[in-house]
Amino acid sequence: MEITNVTEYEAIAKEKLPKMVYDYYASGAEDQWTLQENRNAFARILFRPRILIDVSKIDMTTTILGFKISMPIMVAPTAMQKMAHPEGEYATARAASAAGTIMTLSSWATSSVEEVASTGPGIRFFQLYVYKNRNVVEQLVRRAERAGFKAIALTVDTPRLGRRESDIKNRFTLPPNLTLKNFEGLDLGKMDEANDSGLASYVAGQIDRTLSWKDVQWLQTITKMPILVKGVITGEDARIAVQAGAAGIIVSNHGARQLDYVPATISALEEVVKATQGRIPVFLDGGVRRGTDVFKALALGASGIFIGRPVVFSLAAEGEAGVRKVLQMLRDEFELTMALSGCRSLKEITRNHITTEWDTPRPPHPSARL
C-alpha cells in the first residue's frame, strides 16, 4: 500500500514495534486530553486564501539562528531512536541533512553526539536535560559544541517526568542491548527495571528539580552556542525568556507527555509570539502532521516547526527512507498550501491568511463592494 500522508506511518510502526516501545513513543500523560488537543486545535483554524496571484515560483527557504535551511520544517528531539530502528539517530541525521533541514538530537539518544556528527555534514541542535551533576552537563555541552552542534534546546518542562500510564503498565525500560550513549562511561547510561516506569525512576534520580532561570544564564557562561528554551506555553514565561538571554523559544508541551490539560501548542502560540514582541524567534512543536499545519503555525507567528512522532514512526516503518519521505511529504504539502493560499515566500504568510475561532468577526472592508 502506497503511503500518501505522514499519519499512515503510525499504524505501520504499531504493527512492527514491541508494545512497550510503540506505547512509549505514542502515549501522552494521564488522560491524554492534550495529546488529542494538539491535533484537534489545528482543525479549528481555517484558511482565508488569496487568489489570482502568480504562484509559479514558491520559495520555502528560511534562516534559523543564522543558518539557511530549505524549509521551516525541522526534526524535534525524540529519545532512544534505536528502539525504533537499528540505525536510529544515524538514519534520522542523514535524512534531515538530505532534506536540507535541522535535526535536534535528544540528550537521551541511543547514539552519541560524536556518532551523529560522524554521519556527515548537517546543521544539528542538541536538546539538553540538566542533570543534578553539573559537571556531567558541562562535559556534555562541550562535547556537543566540539562535535559541531550549533545550538542548545534546553528542555524546561521536565523537573519531574509526566505520568505516562502505559509506561507504568509496561514497566518501561531501555532494551538491554541499548544505552543512553551520551552518558555511557559516566555510569548514567543505564536505566534499571523499576516497579513503575524505569524512565520515571531514572529522571527522579538524575534530573535536577531545582532548575531555574538562573541556570539559563549559567548555561550561557559555559557555551557560545545559542540557547533555545523548549517548553514555554505562556506569555509571562516568554517575556522572562527574552530577559534571560534566550536566543529563541520553542512553544512545546513535550508532545503532551508532561502536564495534561495544558492547551495545544498551536493555541498557545500567538500569546507567546505577542509577548516576545519580535525580539527573538518563536518555534512550535506538537501535533504537526500536515503541510497545512505548518502554514497555520507560520500564520500565527512561528518562525518554524519541529516534528517528533512522525520521525520515530516513519523510522520504525522504513528507516532512513521513511524519515526522508515524511520530510518530503510535509514539504510538498506545505508548498501546495502556500500556492493555494497565494503566498510565494514565507514572509507573505500573514495572520490574515487564517481565521481562528477566537478571532473577532472582521468588519467588511470599506472598499468591499456590497
Binding site listing: 24, 77-79, 106, 127, 129, 155, 164, 230, 252, 254, 257, 285-289, 308-309
Binding site listing for glyoxylate: 24, 129, 164, 254, 257
Contact of 142 with 223, CB cutoff 8 Å = yes
Cell 551520551, residue?
Answer: 182
- Per the residue annotation, which of 85, 254, 353, 365 is the catalytic one? 254
Sequence-distant (6+) residues with CB within 8 A of 82 are 88, 89, 110, 111, 178
Phi/psi region, residue 329 (left: phi>0; alpha: psi -120 to 50; beta: rest), is alpha
> Catalytic: 254?
yes
Q: How far is Cα 275 from Cα 236, in angstroms, rounded to an integer?
A: 7
Which pairing describes strands 62-64 and 67-69: parallel, antiparallel, or unpaired? antiparallel
List 155's β-bridge partners, or say none: 230
CA–CA distances in Å: residue 68 to residues 62, 95, 128: 6, 17, 23
Catalytic residues: 254
